[in-house]
Amino acid sequence: MSTLQTQLKNIPKILPKYAKILEKMELHSVEDLLLNFPFRYDDFSQASPISPEYINQTVTIEGMVTKSKLARVFRRKMTIAEITVEDSSGNSLKAVWFNQPFILESLKEGTPVRLSGKLTLKGKVLQMSNPAWERAGRETTNTGCLVPVYNETRGLTSKWLRWQIKPLLAIAQQMEDVVPYEIRQRLNLYDIYTALTQIHFPDSKEKLLRAQKRFAFQEMFLVQLKTLQIKSLWEGNASVPIAFDEKLIQNFVSGLPFKLTNAQRKASFEILKDLEKPAPMNRLLNGDVGSGKTMVAAIASLQAMQAGFQVVIMAPTEVLAKQHFESFNKIFEKYDFNIALLTNSYKLVSSHQSTVNGNDKVVISQWSTVIKNATAVISQQSTVNNCNAKDDRLPMTDDVILKRDVLLNKIQSGEINLVIGTHAIIQKDVAFKNLALIIIDEQHRFGVAQRAFLQQETMSANDPVKSATGHGASGQKKTIPHLLTMTATPIPRTLAIAMFGSLELSILDEMPKNRKEIVTKIIPATIRQEAYDFIRQQVHEGRQVFVILPLVEDSKVLTEIKAATSEHQRLSSEIFPDLRLGLLHGKLKSKDKEDVMQKFKDREFDILVSTSVVEVGIDIPNASVIVIEDADRFGLSQLHQFRGRVGRGEHQSYCFLFTNSNTDKATERLQAMEDSNDGFEISQKDLELRGPGQFFGLVQSGLPDIAMEHLSNIKLIKFARAEAQNILSSDPDLKKHPLLASALQKFQEKIHLE
């Protein structure tokens, strides 16, 4: 007798050649196969007689095969299997199949048959092309019902899968239900067996919907259990409470050359109040491009550093780390803080655009002494370093350049207040004296393990962590730093609740008053020349331009490079021979990419032709136009991110969406970009149009399709969260719910959550 754990290769009806294909699809056991859900359904539930009144409708008819024949079209190397079917009304239709001659072996004259498909009229003859079929005496599996369609692969069809799954469904009665009985009763959810039966072979659309919602709830319930457990575990840690110095912050804010938005004020207050708590902050700062995340991060950093603690800001690339270095240098120029820029290798090392060659170099700058005269910097850097310049320093530029080991000693001794860097910070030899705040920019670019390493390992320095009073923390509970993560990718509220449940959320949904909206226009092929003329005019006025090309497929990187190179050549020789063009693509070495970006920033190029590798957050205030080629190939959220490369300076900026597509779907998507500059509005539209599976790469999260399709159902997500909270409040370790604990363990292995 077969069980849920019976291997598919041991099921008599599954031949070895099919078993091998199933293994490649990671379907090994009966349970695996039963949990492999259809991704759509063909609605063949409408039964009708053969009649002209159903022309152009999808229907199911039953009748007898009265004729059959096989025709060969030698010129096109094609066969046409054809049968005539007559039903009880006496009417008949012709059914044809292309290149499927074997069908006639099963549908000989006199065979009762059931056909499902679209009824058409060819001449005066009613016809179905390539209809689904099965013998009329059989239970409906492929016709006459809502027919499940599964993901297929070479050698494995949905029809074959239906034949295998249907007889195995009885074994689903052995499956234990991970959703507790009381929750199912309270929310009127199907039990696992009923849900499995109805999701594979639904009796009606209503029952199918109930089954889908039951499984969507189950997956979201597990997500919420996991995120709440992570949150509880996080809150069980200790962190150094940093008192909110209201006067300090007020003086800082009042000295800014602009007024903070209400959203910035609210987010800053939430963060500063979190820093006061003895449990570590774990907050996501979610703001649109240009909404002012950097200033909110600066306010949090100021509070921590002024209290005597160290701060780390980690960026995904050296270009962005360098940009943060320059920004914070300017923001804190009136404060007596020491900063280090730590990356594995870079060329541009300081806020003064100095150039140094070599690997593993670092720059240290004292905010209060931002002086372009190198001699003056040396004389005023005595508070920063007491090292022997001859032994410890590399050749001088505007800022002091230290060898890596020297800088690491200064970080560990606490002389450095703020360290800005890349993955280079996550190294075993990097230790801090009193790190109290970690800020991670574009958090989705770092793995969960990398973030955890930084939080746990940075506290392994020999010197004890200082308490809030500045005294040693010896004998006290080990503390971990507060964590603030940031993203410039606006996340729809439902998605944030579902996927970021372990984080507190601060949203910057308000743009600074002085920021001009970017004018966005769809540019069909017919008016390209006008766009090119406008670009030339902008360059003559002193502005710069981005031209972005799409990545066709991940497997076609060379095609992408070839397209970028040829477009760069075309624009250089045919369209803008009088202008200076740069080229950026994914195959360039990191150092070369940064060199290109820096040259563009230094205005050595008028136009930068780039593939989609151009960095989120890169700041080129002089760029006023961005052209996105084949814009219909990008998701809306990505288009919005590209658009954010311009509009960062005082000049009016423009985004041109070049497209050769005139389909309604493409036009609708691009029209959303013309209509709105609001990233949250755009992301919600993107979620609706593309579905959550592709949204922000969530397809990589491991979350099943059934759950992703319901990520916009905020009611379901809230129910799942409430039920998860209810269970964990009385059974935090799930000891009273062993089935749930086991399911959560398996779930954790395949799902990646924040």
Q: Is the pLDDT of residue 247 over 90?
A: yes
pLDDT computed for residue 79 by the predictor: 92
Neighbouring C-beta atoms of residue 47, cutoff 10 Å: 15
pLDDT computed for residue 380 by the predictor: 29
Neighbouring C-beta atoms of residue 161, cutoff 10 Å: 22
Domain boundary assignment for the chain: 1-40+149-175, 46-144, 246-508, 519-676
Q: Is the pLDDT of residue 368 over 60?
A: no
The three-class DSSP label of residue 87 is coil
Tell me how far the alpha carbon of residue 181 is from its chain's centroid.
Answer: 35
What are φ and ψ of residue 560, in 5° steps? Answer: -60, -45
Cβ atoms of residues 424 and 322 within 8 Å: no
d(CA 433, CA 462): 8
| Mean pLDDT value of segment 343-365 | 43
Which amino acid belongs to residue 705?
D
Share of the chain above pLDDT 90, in %: 47
d(CA 214, CA 227): 20
| Mean pLDDT value of segment 87-91 | 91
At 387, the pLDDT band (50, 70, 90 cuts) reads: very low
At 361, the pLDDT band (50, 70, 90 cuts) reads: very low
Structure tokens, 88 = 């009880």
Give the residue carrying structure tokens 């099921």: 11
| Mean pLDDT value of segment 469-496 | 69
**CATH architecture, range 46-144:** Beta Barrel (2.40)
pLDDT computed for residue 400 by the predictor: 56
pLDDT computed for residue 500 by the predictor: 72
At 115, the pLDDT band (50, 70, 90 cuts) reads: very high
Q: Is the pLDDT of residue 464 over 50?
A: no
Cβ atoms of residues 406 and 280 within 8 Å: no
Q: Is the pLDDT of residue 749 over 90?
A: no
CATH topology of domain 246-508: Rossmann fold (3.40.50)
In 548-654, where does DSSP find H-type helix?
557-570, 590-601, 636-643
Q: Is the pLDDT of residue 189 over 90?
A: yes
Q: Which helix (H) or strand (E) holds 722?
A: helix 714-730
Q: Is the pLDDT of residue 451 over 70?
A: no
| Mean pLDDT value of segment 562-588 | 88
d(CA 261, CA 252): 15
pLDDT computed for residue 231 by the predictor: 84
User: Residue 706: which of 721, 716, 715, 719 has the closest Cα?
Assistant: 716
**CATH architecture, range 1-40+149-175:** Orthogonal Bundle (1.10)
657 Cβ contact list (under 8 Å, min separation 6): 520, 521, 522, 523, 628, 631, 639, 670, 673, 674
In 414-470, where does DSSP find H-type helix?
448-457
| Mean pLDDT value of segment 596-611 | 90
At 562, the pLDDT band (50, 70, 90 cuts) reads: low
Q: Which helix (H) or strand (E) holds 69?
A: strand 58-73
What is the sign, positive or negative, of the torsion defined by CA atoms of 432, 438, 441, 443?
positive
| Mean pLDDT value of segment 208-231 | 89
d(CA 652, CA 669): 24
Q: Is the pLDDT of residue 22 over 60?
A: yes
User: Residue 679: which of 647, 707, 705, 712 has the closest Cα?
Assistant: 647
| Mean pLDDT value of segment 600-606 | 93
Span 168-184, pLDDT tens digits: 999 999 999 999 999 99
DSSP code per residue over 358-406: SBSEEEEEEGGG--S-HHHHHHH-TTT--S-HHHHBPSP-SSEEEEHHH
pLDDT computed for residue 549 by the predictor: 87
Q: Is the pLDDT of residue 23 over 70?
A: yes
DSSP code per residue over 228-292: HHHHHHHHTSB-------HHHHHHHHHTSSSPPPHHHHHHHHHHHHHHTSSSPPEEEEEE-TTS-
pLDDT computed for residue 319 by the predictor: 78
Q: Is the pLDDT of residue 114 over 80?
A: yes
pLDDT computed for residue 358 by the predictor: 41
| CA 586-587-591 angle, 5° bins | 90
Give the residue carrying structure tokens 């319901």: 710
pLDDT computed for residue 538 by the predictor: 96
Strand 482-487 vs strand 58-73: parallel, antiparallel, or unpaired?
A: unpaired
| Mean pLDDT value of segment 462-476 | 38
Structure tokens, 513 = 């008053």
Strand 504-508 vs strand 282-287: parallel, antiparallel, or unpaired?
A: parallel
Cβ atoms of residues 156 and 136 within 8 Å: no
Q: Is the pLDDT of residue 346 over 80?
A: no
d(CA 425, CA 673): 38
Q: Which residue has the higher pLDDT, 304 or 517?
A: 304
| Residues forming a β-bridge with 484 | 283, 439
pLDDT computed for residue 290 by the predictor: 81
What is the sign, positive or negative, of the torsion defined by CA atoms of 446, 450, 456, 461?
negative
pLDDT computed for residue 91 by the predictor: 92
- The CATH code that applies to domain 519-676 is 3.40.50.300
Q: What stretches of 139-204 adopt beta strand conformation (E)?
A: 146-149
Neighbouring C-beta atoms of residue 400, cutoff 10 Å: 25
Q: Is the pLDDT of residue 489 over 60?
A: yes
What are φ and ψ of residue 585, in 5° steps? Answer: -150, 170
Query: Does the model's pTM come out above 0.95?
Result: no
pLDDT computed for residue 372 by the predictor: 27
Establish whether domains 46-144 and 246-508 are of one fold. Answer: no
pLDDT computed for residue 139 by the predictor: 85
d(CA 727, CA 222): 12
Contacts 24+ apart (CB under 8 A), 466-473: 466/240, 466/308, 466/309, 466/433, 466/434, 467/240, 468/240, 468/241, 468/242, 468/243, 468/307, 470/308, 473/240
pLDDT computed for residue 597 by the predictor: 86
Q: Which helix (H) or strand (E) holds 713?
A: none
pLDDT computed for residue 428 by the predictor: 75
pLDDT computed for residue 60 by the predictor: 94
Q: Which residue has the higher pLDDT, 594 or 390?
A: 594
pLDDT computed for residue 705 by the predictor: 64
| Mean pLDDT value of segment 298-321 | 92
- 190-194, 368-372, 551-555, 732-736: segment of lowest average pLDDT: 368-372
Strand 78-86 vs strand 92-98: parallel, antiparallel, or unpaired?
A: antiparallel
Q: Which residue has the higher pLDDT, 670 or 750?
A: 670
At 698, the pLDDT band (50, 70, 90 cuts) reads: very low
